[in-house]
């Protein structure tokens, strides 16, 4: 099996989205893996990885770019791609044991994932709950008609109007709650994906020399090219300036850092306090920390935009960062009992899964995770 297909199958297995036949195939891989005693514990991980790579290369050569032994392919994917935590997930499934998270959740109500919900605030201050609206035209903004479609997208379409002169004063705000997300196409054709607990304010204007938006929270931008009208994103402590490009900005008030990640094109980031600036190349991420220090690092862009592609992704994330993601997406408070563990977690799960699936992964790190209900209000408890 090709590595990309194998990786997708393993991720769908973790998310519970496999067919019975696919699930049986993955668990057969694990049984064969167990018989070879590969990846049996974290202490021997380096040795196991070396052994897996050696077997993988031999099999790859013999079969002319095909994996002869599925167990070797599975071992490589489990250990190299899915990390030690995901490996133990297979151990529980194949052995019939139940992880701690499953035991704790057996008698508790689960928590559904977020969905396409948002509030649109018009220039006159009126608000529209978009999840209550039928598809089609829902409002006017200057010389634009605002449409909502079945995919959870908001679009501005120019119409014939004599309201051009008043457009410079028209601003709209799209706001998602915890447990919500929404996609927006701005009047200039730029596309914006708005993550949970976020807010985007933007002007509706064809006459302005700049395209200005203000972000609180997280959004992914695909900016339509317009060399005569720069596009600027104002967020906590910085301004991102572009002409046309794809990038992600994560700027939550409760996050210590503001992170801007460039997927393609180029962006200039200006730190508003001291007016220092950096220019990013694709694959780079700028971090503005709480002390207004601006730094640049090479990163895996797919990690930064996993949320936009329907995934919760943890790449050596500390437990507090993981808790914030869970709180925003599942619209629930996350509380710690006792001192939080000083650990960093790696893993990935589809965002359309219930909270219990994510808690299963956390339990592999010796975290006691459960869902509690207090006076009808659910919360996630980690100890």
Query: Is residue 345 predicted with pLDDT exceeding 60?
Result: yes
pLDDT at 14: 61
Predicted confidence (pLDDT) per residue in 171-200, tens digit: 999 999 999 999 999 999 999 999 999 999
Supply 246's token pair.
Answer: 């794809």
pLDDT at 225: 92
Identify the residue whose tokens are 């910085």: 238
pTM of the model: 0.74
117 near 153, Cβ under 8 Å? no
Indicate the range of 29-38, 61-70, 321-330 predicted with least confidence: 61-70
Q: Distance between CA 358 and CA 369 in Å, rounded?
A: 10
Query: Is residue 64 predicted with pLDDT exceeding 80?
Result: no
pLDDT at 179: 96
Query: Is residue 34 predicted with pLDDT exceeding 60?
Result: no
pLDDT at 15: 60
Between β-strands 171-175 and 136-141, what pairing exists: parallel, antiparallel or unpaired?
Answer: unpaired
Q: Distance between CA 172 and CA 161 in Å, rounded?
A: 18
Query: Is residue 152 predicted with pLDDT exceeding 80?
Result: no
260 near 238, Cβ under 8 Å? yes
pLDDT at 340: 76
User: Which domains are seen in the chain, by residue range?
Assistant: 3-97 (no CATH), 115-304 (2.60.120.1440), 312-382 (3.55.50.30)
Q: What would the mean pLDDT of 223-230 be, rounded to a whole number? A: 92
pLDDT at 26: 64
119 near 172, Cβ under 8 Å? no
Q: How many residues appear in the chain?
A: 383
Indicate the range of 6-20, 23-37, 67-81, 185-199 predicted with least confidence: 67-81
Give the DSSP letter string of 270-285.
EETTT--EEEE-TTEE
127 burial via Cβ count (<10 Å: 0-12, 13-18, 19+): exposed
Question: In 10 A of CB 191, how many CB atoms?
Answer: 16
Residue 108's contacts (CB-CB under 8 Å, 6 or more residues apart) are: 370, 371, 372, 373
Question: Which of 26-30, 79-83, 253-257, 347-351: highest mean pLDDT?
Answer: 253-257
Mean pLDDT estimate for the chain: 78
Query: Is residue 224 predicted with pLDDT exceeding 80?
Result: yes
H/E segment holding residue 27? helix 20-35
pLDDT at 247: 97
């Amino acid at each position: 099996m090709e590595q990309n297909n194998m990786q997708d199958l393993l991720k769908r297995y973790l998310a519970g989205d496999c067919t019975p036949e696919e699930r049986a195939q993955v668990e057969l891989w694990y049984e064969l893996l167990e018989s070879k005693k590969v990846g049996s514990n974290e202490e021997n991980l380096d040795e196991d990885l070396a052994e897996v790579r050696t077997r993988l290369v031999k099999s790859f050569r013999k079969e002319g770019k095909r994996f002869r032994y599925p167990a070797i392919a599975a071992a490589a994917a489990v250990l190299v791609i899915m990390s030690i935590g995901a490996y133990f997930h297979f151990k529980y499934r194949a052995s019939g044991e139940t992880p701690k998270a499953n035991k704790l959740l057996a008698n508790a109500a689960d928590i559904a994932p977020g969905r396409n919900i948002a509030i649109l605030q018009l220039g006159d201050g009126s608000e529209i709950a978009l999840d209550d609206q039928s598809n089609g035209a829902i409002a006017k903004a200057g010389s634009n008609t605002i449409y909502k479609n079945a995919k959870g997208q908001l679009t501005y379409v120019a119409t014939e109007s004599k309201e051009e002169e008043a457009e410079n004063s028209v601003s709209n705000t799209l706001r998602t709650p915890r447990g919500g997300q929404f996609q927006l196409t701005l009047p200039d054709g730029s596309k914006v994906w708005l993550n949970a607990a976020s807010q985007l304010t933007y002007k509706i204007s064809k006459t302005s020399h700049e395209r200005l938006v203000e972000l609180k929270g997280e959004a992914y931008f695909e900016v339509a090219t317009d060399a005569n009208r720069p596009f600027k994103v104002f967020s906590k402590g910085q301004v991102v300036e572009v002409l046309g490009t794809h990038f992600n900005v994560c700027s939550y008030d409760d996050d210590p850092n503001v992170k801007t990640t460039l997927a393609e094109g180029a962006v200039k980031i200006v730190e508003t306090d001291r007016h220092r600036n950096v220019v990013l190349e694709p694959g780079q991420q700028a971090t503005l920390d709480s002390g207004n220090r601006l730094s640049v690092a090479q990163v895996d862009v797919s990690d930064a935009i996993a949320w936009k592609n329907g995934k919760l992704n943890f790449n050596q994330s500390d437990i507090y960062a993981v808790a914030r993601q869970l709180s925003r997406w599942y619209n629930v408070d996350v509380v710690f009992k006792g001192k939080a563990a000083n650990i960093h977690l790696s893993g990935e799960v589809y965002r359309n899964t219930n909270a219990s699936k994510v808690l299963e992964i956390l339990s592999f790190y010796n975290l006691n995770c459960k869902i509690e209900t207090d006076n009808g209000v659910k919360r996630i408890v980690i100890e």
